[in-house]
Amino acid sequence: LRSCSPGRARRTNASRRACLVARFGDIYAEERLDAETLLRTYISDMEMVQRIIYIAAVESFHAAKTAYRQFKIRVRDTLSLGHSGPESLEDTVLDYIVRHEDLYDVQASVNEVIRSMNINPKISFPPEIDFIVISTLIRELCRVAFSMQTLVPPLDVAFGTDGELFSETKYHRSFDSDFTAALVAYHVWPALMENDVVIVKGEAVTKR
């Protein structure tokens, strides 16, 4: 029996994880604010602007995770035909994906996110404008979300609902929140999770 040595993807897991967590923070600080500024030229309601960006973030992770699963199946099917080790097939597949992340069709995910946003009942947009105006934000989120699926364990964003009990461990309150309110009125940015543990807090607005 061959000994299964950890593949390159697993050996570089910690450094890749650190880079991706930092990149997620950069997107919050930079691309998110750029998108906010852009949307404010079309929409005066700040709550709607923040809802749009939050939903874009959640939908980007959903689209990227779906694309990753499909990509992984194709890679596994191809590599299994000639696989002989010494690494396990699973590690070989992971190594291949990490080395060839440029094969990820990020534009297809961006299109999928925009389609989902167009039919989301919680957000609306002036009819003459399209959500494609924030495609830079969506593209960067899809890229980082796809890469986060190659980590062991993978990272994901928390699912949030309007009216949920505010969690100090999961969110920061926005500056315009009612700090005595116990319930989330709406979310500004999702929390980043690893195995159901918060590793980066999101942002939420609490109101009575």
Strand partners, 184: 206
**pLDDT value for 132:** 93
Longest CA–CA separation in the chain, Å: 66
Split at pLDDT 50, 70, 90, the class of 94 is confident
What is the average pLDDT value for the chain, to the nearest integer? 90
**Cis amide leading into 126 (omega within 30):** no
**Cis amide leading into 86 (omega within 30):** yes
For residue 110, pLDDT over 70 is answered with yes
- Domain ranges in the chain are 8-154, 158-207
For residue 2, pLDDT over 50 is answered with no
Query: What tens digit of pLDDT does each residue of 27-51 get?
Result: 999 999 999 999 999 999 999 999 9
Region 123-148: what's the mean pLDDT?
Answer: 92
Query: What tens digit of pLDDT does each residue of 181-198 get?
Result: 999 999 999 999 999 999
**pLDDT value for 84:** 66
Find out whether 123 and 117 touch, Cβ atoms under 8 Å: yes
Structure tokens at 80: 């299994």
- Which of 41, 26, 5, 44 lies closest to 129, judged by CA? 41
Find out whether 26 and 143 touch, Cβ atoms under 8 Å: no
How many helices and strands in the chain, by DSSP H and E?
Answer: 7, 6
Query: What tens digit of pLDDT does each residue of 5-23 get?
Result: 456 777 888 999 999 999 9
Find out whether 103 and 109 touch, Cβ atoms under 8 Å: no
Tell me how far apart the alpha carbons of residues 157 and 168 are, in angstroms, rounded to a whole number.
16
Find out whether 170 and 159 touch, Cβ atoms under 8 Å: no
Residue bearing tokens 């070989």: 92
**pLDDT value for 181:** 93
Say how many C-beta atoms besides its own lie within 10 A of residue 16's C-beta.
Answer: 17
Find out whether 189 and 57 touch, Cβ atoms under 8 Å: yes
Residue bearing tokens 């890749």: 16
Query: What tens digit of pLDDT does each residue of 49-88 get?
Result: 999 999 999 999 999 999 999 999 988 888 777 766 667 7
The reported pTM is 0.91
